[in-house]
């Protein structure tokens, strides 16, 4: 068994590495922060995607084109969550001060108006689904910012944080908006004016809505939205227990960390949402998850039963999903599996200087530390594992 003390040392080293760099890092999707690549992309979506993919797949640091290190919104949210959780456990005034500084930084990165607040990627980005600028909000970044704010509330009881959650609700409803699939089912847009139904991020939104209402003991998010998203998640589950990334022809793939998002979201819903239909969905999904994304040797798989790439975010979410599941269902806990996954990740991706590599292939390793993608998700997953060990 990996001792929690050893994991705590890794967590401390990783936090120190982030603090040493003042949260600035590259990102594997950051090609268009380069003025050279932006110029040669000619504002063509296909060229933009090609540059992003080439830049992200090079196994070495190819930033001579002027790509910039940034303080990425998701990394800030994650570190606010890290400091809040650790403050809640220790009561350290220094950690509370760091959490407050992260909240201030997070709010400074937001897109705001009189009624709403939301977040997005703070760099230009193109995918098969959309094109976004630093001013474009998205559901994923905003929900994780919301989770971070809730973590601070859990640790401090600061009732003023409710105002931020209410502002998030306004932006999600009025700036992103949702699509009513049927009288009982709906999903929120990932980006403004993008109608592709993305399942995993809606599961995260569902958890965030439900958790906000539970913590503040107030219906910030209406029951109609919560039940509508829950029905959407349950009705889109595949027969084998998996979920597609999206219900579109170009979104029909399954991977470990997006599946983990859905499972972790469902198992953490409040008791009144844990009906028989939800429980059956969780059971089927979890069996699919451990059969397809964890090998018999306790190695993580990115795609079903495919070990490579060994990816930091994917490994982090698999560890976190297992830790969360075992915290809710301790009678099913398999410590050997969880410890094996952690050891496999440390052996393949951890650098003793205090950071996690981005990704390992069968014949080479991407050794760049990407805070948003690799570092902060790994810190949170190890904190979750330590919590399970303590319980």
What do you get for the CA distance between the two ends of the chain, in Å?
Answer: 15
Residues 289 and 255: their CA atoms lie apart, in Å, by 9
Q: 156-182: per-residue pLDDT in tens? A: 999 999 999 999 999 999 999 999 999
DSSP β-bridge partners for residue 360 = 310, 365
* Residue 1 reports pLDDT greater than 60: no
Contacts of 246 (CB under 8 A, 6+ apart): 129, 196, 197, 198, 199, 252
Helix (H, G, I), strand (E, B) or coil at 361: coil
For position 50, what pLDDT does the model report? 85
Which pLDDT does position 102 carry in this prediction? 98
Alpha-carbon gap, residue 172 to 221, rounded angstroms:
11
Question: Residues with Cβ < 8 Å from 303, sequence gap 6 or more?
Answer: 253, 254, 255, 256
Nearest to 220 by CA among 185, 173, 278: 173
Over residues 136-161, the pLDDT tens digits come to 999 999 999 999 999 999 999 999 99
pLDDT tens digit string along 313-332?
A: 999 999 999 999 999 999 99
| Cβ–Cβ < 8 Å for 181, 187 | yes
Of the candidates 156, 90, 373, the residue with the CA atom closest to the CA atom of residue 257: 373
45-54 pLDDT, tens digit each = 888 888 878 7
Bond before 309 cis per omega within 30 degrees = yes
Residue positions counted in the chain: 391
Q: What digits encode the pLDDT tens for the residues 221-253?
A: 999 999 999 999 999 999 999 999 999 988 999
**The two structure tokens encoding residue 120:** 């997005």
pLDDT, position 59: 66
Distance CA 266, CA 273 (A): 9
Per the CB < 8 A criterion, the answer to whether 293 and 300 are in contact is yes
d(CA 165, CA 238): 32
Q: What is the 3-state secondary structure (H, E, C) of 68-98?
A: CCEECHHHHHHHHHHHHHHHHHHCCHHHHHH
pLDDT over 70 at 3, yes or no:
no
CA distance 364 to 361: 5
Question: Would you say residue 386 has pLDDT above 90?
Answer: yes
Residue the block writes with tokens 């060229």: 47
| Rounded Cα–Cα distance for residues 315 and 14 (Å) | 16
Task: Say yes or no to pLDDT of 65 above 80.
Answer: no
* Closest to 123 in 3D by CA, of 29, 51, 42, 21: 29
> How many other C-beta atoms lie within 10 A of the C-beta of residue 253?
12
Interatomic CA distance for residues 374 and 226, integer angstroms: 30
Instruction: Print burial letters for 351-362: b (CB count within 10 Å at least 16), e (below 16).
Output: eeebbbbbbbee
Contact yes or no for 252/218 (Cβ under 8 A)? no
**Cβ pair 240, 285 in contact under 8 A:** no
pLDDT recorded at residue 227 = 98
Q: How far apart are CA 300 and CA 275, in angstroms?
A: 30
User: If residue 346 lies in a helix (H) or strand (E), which one and from where to where?
Assistant: helix 335-349
């Amino acid at each position: 068994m990996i001792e929690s003390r050893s994991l705590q040392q890794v967590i401390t080293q990783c936090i120190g590495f982030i603090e040493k760099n003042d949260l600035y890092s590259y990102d594997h999707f950051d090609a268009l922060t380069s003025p050279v690549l932006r110029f040669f992309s000619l504002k063509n979506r296909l060229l933009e995607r090609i540059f992003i993919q080439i830049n992200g797949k090079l196994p070495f640091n190819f930033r001579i084109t002027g790509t910039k290190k940034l303080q990425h919104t998701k990394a800030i949210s994650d570190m606010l969550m890290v400091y809040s959780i650790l403050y809640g456990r220790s009561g350290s005034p220094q950690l509370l001060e760091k959490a407050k500084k992260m909240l201030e930084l997070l709010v400074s990165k937001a897109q705001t108006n009189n009624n709403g607040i939301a977040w997005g990627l703070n760099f230009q980005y193109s995918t098969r689904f959309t094109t976004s600028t630093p001013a474009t909000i998205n559901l994923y970044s905003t929900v994780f910012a919301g989770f971070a704010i809730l973590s601070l509330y859990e640790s401090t009881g600061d009732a003023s944080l409710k105002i931020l959650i209410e502002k998030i609700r306004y932006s999600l409803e009025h700036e992103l908006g949702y699509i009513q699939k049927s009288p009982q089912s709906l999903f929120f847009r990932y980006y403004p004016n993008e109608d592709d139904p993305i399942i995993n991020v809606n599961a995260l939104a569902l958890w965030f809505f439900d958790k906000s209402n539970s913590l503040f003991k107030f219906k910030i998010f209406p029951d109609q939205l919560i039940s509508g998203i829950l029905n959407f998640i349950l009705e889109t589950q595949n027969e084998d227990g998996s979920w597609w990334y999206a219900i579109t022809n170009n979104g029909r793939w399954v991977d470990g960390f997006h599946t983990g998002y859905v499972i972790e979201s469902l198992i953490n819903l409040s008791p009144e949402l844990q009906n028989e239909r939800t429980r059956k969905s969780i059971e089927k999904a979890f069996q699919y998850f451990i059969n397809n994304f964890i090998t018999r040797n306790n190695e993580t798989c990115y795609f079903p039963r495919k070990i490579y790439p060994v990816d930091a975010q994917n490994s982090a979410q698999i560890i976190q999903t297992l830790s969360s599941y075992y915290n809710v269902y301790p009678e099913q806990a398999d410590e050997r599996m969880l410890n094996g996954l952690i050891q496999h990740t440390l052996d393949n991706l951890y650098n003793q200087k205090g950071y996690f590599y981005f990704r390992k292939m069968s014949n080479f390793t991407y050794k760049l530390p990407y805070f948003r993608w690799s570092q902060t998700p790994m810190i949170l997953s190890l904190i979750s594992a330590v919590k399970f060990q303590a319980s």
